[in-house]
Amino acid sequence: MERSLEKLNDKVVKCKKCTRLHSYIKSVAKNKVKRFYDDKYWGRPLPSFGDPNAKLLIVGLAPAAHGGNRTGRMFTGDSSGDWLAKVLFDNGFANKPTSQNKNDGFTLIDAYITAAVRCAPPDNKPTGNEIMTCADYLKQELALLQDVKVIVCLGKIAFDAVKRLCGVRYQNFSHGHRFFHNGIVIVASYHPSRQNTQTGKLIWSQWNKIFLDVRALLAN
């Protein structure tokens, strides 16, 4: 299974199916923002990562232009990654509370991180066609990650992507909402984007409770 996930990640990294996204991530990697001018950007679709025997699967929206698209690892090198790394560490799903670059030793424990879309989209808004094009990668991951008991969806796009794969229609997105499908609990959460955390739409206690609840679900 681990080798199958590696092969799938190799396919993802080489993917050029979405012309708009492929052009955008290359442009961002070339025309860097001032604060990261000295960094060498990844500038390719992002592989998923984590424990191949994970019971928890975390599905994000897409890489950030100057986060994952720069560092080469999902939820790494930006404020969303800061929030996710800390909450995972606090709840025993990671070995350290920070995720700064792909060589920093940050390791997931019984968790796996992926996304609905594997390339950073302009304005963080992938098109419907781009989401559907990437859906097969997520479908293959769900088939390979046979120990998953809980899926946490970060934001409505991730939630809707998982719903489509499950063939589920009548579930509405709201923070903390959950439903069961084929023995797996699907949990919805606001995305820990700067827009949500700085406006107070998502506060730490709400965010942490998602993962406290995941721990309780996995203990049953």
Domain spans in the chain, listed from the N-terminal domain onward: 1-219
- The domain over range 1-219 is classified in CATH as 3.40.470.10: yes
How far apart CA 147 and CA 173 sit, in angstroms, is 25
User: pLDDT, tens digit, for every residue of 142-169?
Assistant: 999 999 999 999 999 999 999 999 999 8
What number of CA atoms fall less than 13 Å from residue 207's CA on the CB side?
A: 22
**Does the structure show a pLDDT above 90 at 8?**
yes
**pLDDT at 52 (0 to 100):** 97
CA distance 201 to 60: 17
Cβ atoms of residues 201 and 190 within 8 Å: yes
Q: What is the pLDDT of residue 196?
A: 97
Angle, nearest 10°, between helix axes 156-166 and 128-144? 60
pLDDT for residue 1: 72
Residue 185 phi, psi dihedral angles, 5° rounding: -95, 125
The predicted-structure confidence for 163-215, as pLDDT tens digits, reads as follows 999 999 889 999 999 999 999 999 999 999 999 999 999 999 999 999 999 99
Q: pLDDT by residue (tens digit) across 93-111?
A: 999 999 999 999 999 999 9
In this predicted structure, what is the pLDDT of residue 2?
Answer: 86
Look-up of token digits 């950007």:
41
Phi, psi for residue 157 in degrees, rounded to 5: -65, -45
Alpha-carbon gap, residue 63 to 198, rounded angstroms = 19
pLDDT at res. 220: 82
- Tens digit of pLDDT for each residue in 35-94? 999 999 999 999 999 999 999 999 999 999 999 999 999 999 999 999 999 999 999 999
